Each structure stands twice: as structure tokens, then as C-alpha cells.
């Protein structure tokens, strides 16, 4: 039985939808808590034996204050720009145990640009002493404010279920 924590950042709702689909897959094998990064705990709760972190790819990496503001200029909630993103949370969260981690991101399918919030988050978490259970995963959206590409939510649920196999 697994006890997973899924922490996500989402500007337009797509990354949140992916986080929830991943959690649905994880629930097949245990308990899961899904939390937006602005509400995430300051330290990993005891008993968490899998941490999943995800966010949108902005400017080739995890969001920053200025890229979150740019998202607001494109229609995202201004409240989301005011809160910290996964970059800040990863830097500040208290980590006491060697908890396995998995990272994911959402990214525009075309044009295909380099960079990945998931890869950057994975590097930062490994630098903090955690180890990943799988390589970072990307889920695609049709445009900055667009919808998820068909089939991505099913793929996210499958990916979540596979994390514990």
C-alpha cells in the first residue's frame, strides 16, 4: 500500500487535470493526496513514500515569477501568478527522508521547443537527495491556453499506475 503526494502547479488547468489523472492511476495501489503548490506542505509529511511533482514548461523550464505573470497576461488567474511555483517549493520544502520521486510537465506539442519543467524539477529534486523512480514525463497541450492533446489524460492515468509497478 502506497501513500503518495502529488504536488502540481497549473496556470490554465491542464497540468491540474494531468495531476488528477496521475492520482487516479496511483489510487489503484494506495492512498493519494493531490495538492496545488500554493497549498503544499512546507515539509514532506511522514509516511509519504512517493512524491510526484509537476508543472507547466515555461521558457524552457519551470515557471518563474515573470513567466507566471506572462501567463496572467494571456488569461490565467492573477492569484496563480502571486503564489510560488514548483521551482520555489522544491527549493524550500523540508525533506527528511529519501523519498522516491517522479516528475511530469505539460508542454505545447508544436512548435517542438527544447526544455522541460519535468527535467528541471527532477534535477533539482535529485540535487536535494531524492531519487527518481522513472524518467520525467511530458504531457502535451495544443497551445499555451489550449486543451490537452487527445489521449493525454488516459496516458497520465496509465503513467500514474505504472509508477508503483
What structural domains does the chain harbor? 2-162 (3.40.50.360)
**How far, in Å, CA of 76 to CA of 164, rounded?**
33
- What was the pLDDT predicted at 126? 94
- What was the pLDDT predicted at 112? 81
In the chain, which stretches have pLDDT less than 50? Answer: none
**How far, in Å, CA of 83 to CA of 10, rounded?**
11
H helix and E strand count, the chain: 6, 6
Q: What is the phi/psi pair of residue 98, to 5°?
A: -85, 80
Residue 131, class by beta-carbon neighbours within 10 Å (0-12 exposed, 13-18 middle, 19+ buried)? exposed
- What was the pLDDT predicted at 146? 84
- What was the pLDDT predicted at 44? 92
- What was the pLDDT predicted at 140? 97
Give pTM, 2 decimals: 0.95
Amino acid at each position: 500500500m502506497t501513500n503518495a503526494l502529488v504536488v502540481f502547479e497549473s496556470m490554465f488547468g491542464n497540468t491540474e487535470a494531468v495531476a488528477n489523472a496521475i492520482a487516479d492511476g496511483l489510487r489503484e495501489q494506495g492512498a493519494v493526496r493531490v495538492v496545488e503548490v500554493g497549498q503544499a506542505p512546507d515539509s514532506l509529511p511522514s509516511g509519504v513514500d512517493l512524491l510526484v511533482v509537476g508543472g507547466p514548461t515555461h521558457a524552457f523550464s519551470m515557471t518563474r515569477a515573470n513567466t507566471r505573470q506572462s501567463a496572467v497576461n494571456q488569461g490565467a488567474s492573477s492569484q496563480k501568478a502571486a503564489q510560488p511555483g514548483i521551482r520555489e517549493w522544491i527549493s524550500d520544502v523540508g525533506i527528511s527522508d529519501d523519498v522516491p520521486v517522479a516528475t511530469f510537465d505539460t508542454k505545447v506539442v508544436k512548435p517542438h521547443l527544447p526544455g522541460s519543467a519535468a527535467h528541471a524539477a527532477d534535477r533539482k529534486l535529485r540535487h536535494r537527495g531524492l531519487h527518481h523512480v522513472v524518467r520525467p514525463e511530458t504531457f502535451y497541450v495544443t497551445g499555451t491556453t489550449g486543451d490537452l492533446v487527445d489521449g493525454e489524460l488516459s496516458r497520465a492515468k496509465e503513467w500514474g499506475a505504472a509508477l508503483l509497478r
